[in-house]
Amino acid sequence: MTRDHLPKCEIEGRDDICSRRNFVRLSAKSSLFTLASALVSGCNSDRTLRQSTRSPAADGRMPVIDYGLSFISGKAAWNRVRFWVESRTRILDEHTGQFKDYYQCASCKSENTFAKEDLFMADNYDFIPIFGPDDGVIFRRKSRVDSAYRQWRSAADMWGGQEYKLRKPRSSRLLSTPADIHKATNDALPLVAQTEISDKNTGLRAMIEFPIKTMNIRDEEPTYQIDTGPIALPDLSKRYDHFANSISLAFIAFNAPHFADFVIEDETSIVENGKETARVHHYSKRLSLPADNRLFAIDG
């Protein structure tokens, strides 16, 4: 992958490539989370994500998104569709220092858009798009296994390209202790997590960021467990022709800072009386990975 293959990213108004030299130097000293934690305590009044003079991947600048106010819209005049952003996955190549951000959007149903009647298709399916700077992937989950379940697309072929309308929260802060997590949960503050995973054999790393939709805590002890999805989970165990092709839909759970469990949507057998009667796409493939997890509270 060369610099020419990674065009300027509309998402944050900046070049979506980081310097290999800066990235490797900082990575050797600290994780992305350590670098980021000092930078998320506050923002100025401008809540849009704007150009930085330094690459976010090089200096750790990956401020959390306000997931209640962030959207991606198509550019096509025939349908300027707007999707609600539900998670962000940054995939980094430590060999080159390059990275790309992928945004997973909310699910909808297959429809006859702008029709006079019968707005939902008869053979209906769940529809989830994931957008990257120059490509993406669309998931279509029918009631059965179907060859069109996942389709890679160039960004230009997804509603004529995208307009990224991402907002930062007015302020956000790292929750450094279980007591902080309990208090923020009980105070009904929005919570955002960042989970970092990597594979030393391939030299790939990913930062997965998402709002926490379900949080479990216990009154009698300082413990917690998050359960959220779907998210865009990349397979870092091998190198794909496009980063987008490495992504699967998954749910994530963790209750400690050093690992995360995933259940991935995959082809799944329906068995009755010991016999397979059908195959569907279902969240059934379980995976546990070493990870660095951080939780952030959104104060405004």
Which residues 6+ apart lie within 8 Å of 14 measured at CB? 8, 50, 51, 52, 55, 56
Residue 11's pLDDT band (boundaries 50, 70, 90)?
very low
Residue 135 lies in a domain: yes
Domain that holds residue 282: 3-109+119-298
pLDDT in tens, 270-285: 999 999 899 999 999 9
* β-sheet bridge partners, residue 167: 48
Short-list 60, 158, 146, CA closest to 105: 158
Is residue 157 a contact partner of residue 249, using CB atoms and an 8 Å limit? no
* pLDDT value of position 98: 92
Integer Cα distance of 237 and 32 in angstroms: 20
Distance set, CA 86 to CA 67, 79, 282 (Å): 7, 21, 19
* β-sheet bridge partners, residue 272: 275
Is residue 19 a contact partner of residue 55, using CB atoms and an 8 Å limit? yes
170: tokens are 């007015």
Residue 270 lies in a domain: yes
Mean pLDDT calculated for residue range 134-156: 95
Identify residue 176 by its one-letter amino acid code: S
Specify the residue for token string 């799944």.
268
* pLDDT value of position 48: 63
* pLDDT value of position 125: 84
* pLDDT value of position 300: 66
Please state the pTM of the whole predicted model. 0.81
* pLDDT value of position 122: 94
Residue 63's pLDDT band (boundaries 50, 70, 90)?
confident
Short-list 255, 191, 263, 261, CA closest to 223: 255
Q: Which letter, b or e, does each residue of 202-217 get, where b requires 16 or more Cβ atoms within 10 Å of its Cβ?
A: eebbbbbbbbbeebee
Residue 53 lies in a domain: yes
Phi, psi of 21 (to 5 degrees): -65, -50
Phi-psi region of 13 (alpha: psi -120 to 50; beta: other; left: phi over 0): left
Residue 40 lies in a domain: yes
Within 13 Å and on the Cβ side, how many CA atoms surround 276? 7
Is residue 74 a contact partner of residue 85, using CB atoms and an 8 Å limit? no
Short-list 183, 131, 190, 137, CA closest to 162: 131
Domain count, the chain: 1
Residue 114 lies in a domain: no
% the chain with pLDDT above 70? 79
- Mean pLDDT score of the chain: 84
Terminal alpha carbon distance of the chain = 39
Q: Is the pLDDT of residue 73 over 60?
A: yes
